[in-house]
Structure 1
Amino acid sequence: MPLFALLMLSLPAPAFAQEAEPAPPPAYSTLADVLEDETARRALIEDLRRLAAPAVEEAAEAAAAPDPSLARQIATMTKGIAEQVIVQAQGVWTGLTEMFNGGGRDLAQLSEWAANLAIVIATVLVLFFVLRRAVRPAYARADRWVMAQQEGERRWVHRIIAIGGTALLDLVVVLVAWVGGYVLALTWLGTAGRMETAQSLFLNAFLIIEIVKLGMRGLFASRYQGLRILPLPAEDAAIWNILLARLVGLIGYGMLFVSPVVTAQISWGAGRAVAVLVMLLAFLYALTGILAQRKRVRDALTARAGNAKSGFTGAAIRLLARTWHVFAILYFAALALVTIVRPGDALPFMASATFQTLAAVAGGFVAYAILERLIMLGVRVPEETRRRLPQLERRLNTYIPTGLRVVRTVVVVVVLALIAAAWEVWDVAAWMASERGSVVLSAAIDIAVIVVLAAAVWIAVASWVEHRLSPETGTGEPGAREKTLLAIFRNAFSIVLITMTAMIVMSEMGIDIGPLIAGAGVLGLAIGFGSQKLVQDIITGVFIQLENAINTGDVVTVGGISGTVEKLTIRSIGIRDLAGSYHIIPFSSVDLVTNFMRDFAFHVGEYGIAYRENVDDAIERLKEAFEELRANPDNAPLILDDLEVSGVVALADSSVNIRVRIKTAPGSQWAIGRAYNKLVKQHFDAAGIEIPFPHMTLYFGQDKDGSAPPVPLPQPVIQGKAAE
């Protein structure tokens, strides 16, 4: 709010009336007074010579360095400020001396002038406070009307109406008091139809200051919660309203009324001294108030940071909570310093800088809030699109929020640059118009466009691959070969896109990529000689993919490892074995690929029966087991042909082995084999066919007459003694 106050206070006060005799404009009158005063004239000449010397020196330096760096600009500005402080300090001392000497004015004339001015001031203030008290019940009724509404959009509508109505009523009170002062000055004091300049200065200062305070009362409204714009407790609102109102009154009346009056009545130097003293008092008062409220504001901001939905926002608010008093002190210190260094245009400069700062901060805050909201909302795709492209929403919520965070950072940088330009720390417009600035901006825009296009291309290609891989696209489940090739294409395309984007970005940044490409070629050649194994991996992988030897999901035996293929790259294959272990095998180690998932497969079963069993009967039982297997609706689609009986393939030591073969869909041979083995056991048991298993025969010897000797068994032991 003090920023807006300074903006309003800097507005020129219009001369609504003239004195009894036509008078030259105030600036000419002041200059004439300075030239008539011998001491002031000499001081002015010395000041002009001091000001001219640095200007000549700076012009020579600027000609030698037409495009100074930021550090040089800051050094030059600091040097000028230091020199101006010395010059203005001398002028303030001279002005104080003149002010205490009285300026040689006639005391009788001065008394009459002061009396008329005091009557105008008293009349305006009394009329203003009486009218304010008269309309106070209207504020209370408006507050009750707002608070009677329920929370939500309805209350906000009523609040806007009430705030606008009370502000209009407050403005009417100010205008009535201001017009009353003008009527009094023009009709009752001095010559009818004319008024003194001091009276006009006070009335215009009163109008500007009270309009500023009107806005402050709308922001804080310490007595009326329903009319308070800022979400502050009543106690905090009252403290800040009083603090800022006193600052506005001190600075406004001091700079717009007291200083011009002292300049007109005493001398230019005395008026400058008053302006400096007013700003120093304002700075000390602001410093005291800021330090007194430091902890209260810090605690309030810290509590608000805890409720922030974004971590970045919470961190920014916590940083502001720890440093807000520093920025406030620096602002009022700058105001006092500018008043000392540039007394002629201190308030206009501060108002312009303040307005630009407010506009930059407000615009940045709105943009920041919108971006933060978009980041928090994320991206939602239609249900049909999510069904067909399940990864698209996740991909968009990865890239778009990241881009918005980058834009948010750019907004912060732009706001800081605009603030620096507003306070003449850095001439942004001149830098943008310079060759260096135009190159940097052009490169930044080109890089942003390139990165955005690269991200869009990647999202489109990845989504197309995902669309082809999805069984919901209308073309059905893609084949294993298509899955593998599309996955490899996606990986290869990402590498190519990242490489090309990086090279183009480096080119836009001014880096000569020609030597880089040549160096990369030489480096690639050196790596090729030193990494022949890697080259062999890639070449072998390419030919394996061209021959369609392996696809993701196949069950293979590669490099002595059997398992399911989970991942294929251009260099290696990832296999998960039966125990769950994951193996990465480089293609250079692949001499033989055994794929169990091509076209069809066989379950080869070899079943042994005892020598006493009938072979034909056993074969019939095997066929019955197969028919029962095929009758199962879960197994029937996986069996591609009838049972092949090879017959007796071996007369083993303890069994007669019969081999059969079942043709199955690829990858189903193991499940079909397990189910068939179960049925064979059941049918053999039902038919009483023995499935041999290992036996052991014990031979104890035989006498010559053919009788067998007794088996030598150990004697049992009972309670430690041999049994009798």
Structure 2
Amino acid sequence: MPVFLLLLSLLLAALPAMAQEAPAADPQHKVEEFTTLLADPDVQAWLRERAGELAAAPAAPVPATNMGGSALSGAFHELEARLDVLLAGLPRLPADLATAGDRLAREIAEVGPLGALLLVLGFVALGLGTEWVFWHSTRSVRRHIATAPIDTLRQRLRIIGIRFLFGLCWIGAFAVGSLGACLLFPWPAFLRSLLLGALAVILAVRFTLVIARFLLSPGNEKLRIVPTTTEAAWFWTRRLAVFFGYLAFAWVVLDLVAAVGITEVSMRLLGYVLGLAALVILGEAIWRQPPRQPGAPRPATALRVGMIAYIAFAWLVGRVLNVVPLFDVMIVVLLLPLAIRISHRAVLHLLRPGDLDGDGLLGDQPAPQQPPSAWTVVIERGLRLAFFAIGAWIIISGFGVDMNMMRTSDDLLGVFLRNLLRALAILLVADLLWQLARTAIDHHLVHAAAGSEADPTEVIRRRQRVRTLLPILRNVLFVVLITMAVLMALSSLGVEVGPLIAGAGVVGVAIGFGAQTLVKDVISGIFYLLDDAFRIGEYIVSGSYKGTVESFSLRSVKLRHQRGSLYTVPFGELGAIQNMSRDWVIDKLTINVTYDTDLDKAKKIIKQIGKELLADEELGPGFIQPLKMQGVSSFGDFAMQITLKMMTYPGKQFTIRRKAYAMIKRAFAENGIQIAVPTVRVAGTDAHEGAEAVAAKAANDVLAAKAAQA
């Protein structure tokens, strides 16, 4: 938010300049004033006194033209001379201001105090009356603004535009009425200038309020263009009105005292005093600025002090030391990044797709995982281009370079500046193209990620393909655009890009020989993608690596293991790939049952379970072929092994298998079919005696073995 007042700090430069470049009055009027002043006895006495002082004063020393031959020494002595002149003219400032007061008193005396009061009242009454008529004749418009829906983007933009035009017309009504008073009544020249200056101050304040309400809308946050808190919106609205009103007041004061004809030194001193006061107002606003977000702290003290010191130093360098180019560069360097950042946030906030809650209105992004629209990118980058153009124009004008001459000039500076601007334009256009391309790709990625698992298989495959290839395309497009933009910019600056391209080719070959593994990884990745070996979200196995494909770059792929670990595997090390998530999966289940099991009965039970699983709302869509029994696959020492088979979509088999096992166990138990488990059976008349006999036999076998070894 401080950028709004910082932008106005450029106007600080105008205050002393106004003192030097005051508008010239009418020549005939000047002659009349001059003859009147010469006829005044007081003026004649002052001229005689001044002539005597000049005759008695010693001759001013001629400053050295070369003090040590350094530019710094010359600048120092120039500054010293300027300060001496200002200090010498300081005692004359009260007298010059008193002269302006006397001029105003004489103007009022010509029409009388009552006549002057009536003229002023007529001036104010006509302005307020015209404004009152406009206000009451636009009730329907104001009612429409207050009650119109602002839920959609189109509705918000429409109401914002209507409010802004209404505010301008409201100010225009007051201005027309006040100017009409100046045309209807006969005014003394100086008094008319004074009232027109007052009108300029009033219009400046009110126009600033209209602009501030258009951008900040402190009364309705849904119509706010620049995202900030309501407290901050009211704060900056008031400070903008005060600052702009003061600048208009300073301009009017300098214009009026210039019409009186005070000395140039007094004009400079008055301009410096008014500039310092404007600097104080600006510093107070920066120091007391509220936070931009609810609950956030104000900017750090060091940051605020640094900004105030930077602006004060820029004003001191630009106007007191008269180094105008350096002042322009310092202001542009400070304001350009702030203006770009705030315009970026403002465009994203204004063109948001829907209303957001809480901090979403104040963040730097329009919504989580929602890329901006193409229009948003065009407007935001267009504003950035405009800011760069304004900054370049300010800097070039500060150095005294004529823009028209620069386009046709053949000297070194003109050619360099022309080529530099062309190179900057190329880079900005390349940035716009990249942002548009990235936005389009991000929209496709978001659309692909927003699909449902219930979509048809072909749609799911297409989304996976998009999510796999578009990130690679985005990276390649970025490299191509930045390379072309840099080469074109260098070419516009007069650099021969042919040798650079040839040298880059040689360096590329050398790097290729030295980084064969990297080249192998990149080329292998390209062929994996061309073969459609895997996609994002698929589970693959390659040697000792296995996991779900999360993302990949030009060189490697990231696999997320089911236990959470993340593998980053170069494409050159993948080798043969087993894709576990493509098309369909056949899952086989094995169950051990006892030898006395009725297989026909077991087959019917499993078939019924398959039907129930197929009819399940959650598990049924995952089947391609239902669960069924294939028969006995082998005979074991303690059980028969029967095999079951089902065909599912990839990834669905795990949930179905767990549910199937639970249903089979419960159904077998209800129908008297036993799940076989390995057991040890000891034969004998008595269990206790049999156990002792087995233990004794084992001990005898051990002793016999030891005896045989001995």
TM-score, structure 2 as length reference: 0.59
Kindly report which structure 2 residues correspond to 1:80-159, keeping only aligned pairs within 5 A, or say none: 124=107, 126-128=109-111, 130=113, 131-139=115-123, 141=125, 157=169
The corresponding residue for 1:436 is 416
Q: Is the 8 A contact 1:576 1:583 kept in 2?
A: yes
Equivalents in 2 of 1:628, 1:120: separation in Å? 105
In the TM superposition, residue 604 of structure 1 has moved relative to its aligned partner by 0.7
Confirm whether residue 14 of structure 1 aligns to residue 28 of structure 2. yes
The corresponding residue for 2:397 is 418
Confirm whether residue 281 of structure 1 aligns to residue 261 of structure 2. no
Which structure 2 segments of 5+ residues have no match? 1-13, 34-53, 90-101, 143-162, 211-237, 355-368, 696-710
In the TM superposition, residue 444 of structure 1 has moved relative to its aligned partner by 3.5
Q: Structure 2: which amino acid aligns with 1:435?
A: V
The corresponding residue for 1:259 is none
Equivalents in 2 of 1:126, 1:323: separation in Å? 48
| Matched residue SS, 1:660 | strand
Q: Is the 8 A contact 2:638 2:678 kept in 1?
A: yes
| Matched residue SS, 2:638 | coil
Equivalents in 2 of 1:373, 1:234: separation in Å? 21
Kindly report which structure 2 residues correspond to 1:377-526, keeping only aligned pairs within 5 A, or say none: 377-378=347-348, 380=351, 393=372, 397=376, 401-402=380-381, 404-421=383-400, 426=401, 429-432=404-407, 433=409, 434-456=414-436, 459=439, 476-479=459-462, 480-481=464-465, 483-526=467-510
Equivalents in 2 of 1:690, 1:328: separation in Å? 95
Q: Structure 1: which amino acid aligns with 2:672?
A: G
The corresponding residue for 1:299 is 284
In the TM superposition, residue 665 of structure 1 has moved relative to its aligned partner by 3.0
The corresponding residue for 1:538 is 522
Equivalents in 2 of 1:554, 1:228: separation in Å? 58
Equivalents in 1 of 2:633, 2:194: separation in Å? 110
Q: 1:529 to 1:420 in 2, by over 3 A?
A: closer
Cα deviation, 1:352-377, whole Å, max 9, x if unaligned, reads x9xxx99xx9xxx9xx9999668613
* The one of 169, 185, 194 aligned to 1:213: 194
Q: Is the 8 A contact 1:484 1:551 kept in 2?
A: yes
Equivalents in 2 of 1:228, 1:481: separation in Å? 53
RMSD: 6.0
In the TM superposition, residue 554 of structure 1 has moved relative to its aligned partner by 2.0
The corresponding residue for 1:685 is 669
In the TM superposition, residue 544 of structure 1 has moved relative to its aligned partner by 3.0
The corresponding residue for 1:668 is 652
Equivalents in 2 of 1:669, 1:526: separation in Å? 51
Q: Structure 2: which amino acid aligns with 1:126?
A: A
Q: Structure 1: which amino acid aligns with 2:284?
A: D
Structure whose CA Rg is larger = 1
The corresponding residue for 1:161 is 173
Equivalents in 1 of 2:528, 2:209: separation in Å? 72
Cα deviation, 1:311-344, whole Å, max 9, x if unaligned, reads 99x999998865777777788869xx99xxxxxx
Q: Is the 8 A contact 1:171 1:214 kept in 2?
A: no
Equivalents in 1 of 2:209, 2:479: separation in Å? 54
In the TM superposition, residue 11 of structure 1 has moved relative to its aligned partner by 3.7
| Matched residue SS, 1:393 | coil
In the TM superposition, residue 167 of structure 1 has moved relative to its aligned partner by 4.3
Pairs aligned (count) = 551
Equivalents in 1 of 2:502, 2:672: separation in Å? 81
Kindly report which structure 2 residues correspond to 1:713-724, keeping only aligned pairs within 5 A, or say none: none
In the TM superposition, residue 646 of structure 1 has moved relative to its aligned partner by 3.9
Equivalents in 2 of 1:122, 1:476: separation in Å? 87
Equivalents in 2 of 1:7, 1:519: separation in Å? 56
Q: Is the 8 A contact 2:205 2:244 kept in 1?
A: no
In the TM superposition, residue 627 of structure 1 has moved relative to its aligned partner by 3.3
| Matched residue SS, 1:551 | coil
Equivalents in 2 of 1:4, 1:634: separation in Å? 79
The corresponding residue for 1:657 is 641
In the TM superposition, residue 636 of structure 1 has moved relative to its aligned partner by 4.2
The corresponding residue for 2:228 is none
| Matched residue SS, 2:27 | coil
| Matched residue SS, 1:549 | coil
Q: 1:128 to 1:167 in 2, by over 3 A?
A: farther
Q: 1:570 to 1:371 in 2, by over 3 A?
A: closer
Which structure 1 segments of 5+ residues have no match? 20-39, 41-45, 58-71, 94-118, 178-206, 256-277, 339-352, 384-389, 712-724
In the TM superposition, residue 606 of structure 1 has moved relative to its aligned partner by 0.9
Cα deviation, 1:636-693, whole Å, max 9, x if unaligned, reads 4443346564432233233221122222333333233222212211221111111123
Confirm whether residue 561 of structure 1 aligns to residue 545 of structure 2. yes
In the TM superposition, residue 380 of structure 1 has moved relative to its aligned partner by 3.9
Q: Is the 8 A contact 1:290 1:329 kept in 2?
A: no
Q: 1:700 to 1:588 in 2, by over 3 A?
A: farther
| Matched residue SS, 1:653 | coil
In the TM superposition, residue 299 of structure 1 has moved relative to its aligned partner by 1.9
Equivalents in 1 of 2:313, 2:439: separation in Å? 46
Equivalents in 1 of 2:533, 2:172: separation in Å? 74
Q: 1:77 to 1:549 in 2, by over 3 A?
A: same
Q: 1:410 to 1:696 in 2, by over 3 A?
A: farther
**Identical counterparts, % of pairs:** 20
Equivalents in 2 of 1:608, 1:304: separation in Å? 77
The corresponding residue for 2:95 is none
Q: Structure 2: which amino acid aligns with 1:540?
A: S
In the TM superposition, residue 607 of structure 1 has moved relative to its aligned partner by 0.5
Q: 1:627 to 1:415 in 2, by over 3 A?
A: same
| Matched residue SS, 2:261 | helix
Equivalents in 2 of 1:76, 1:427: separation in Å? 29
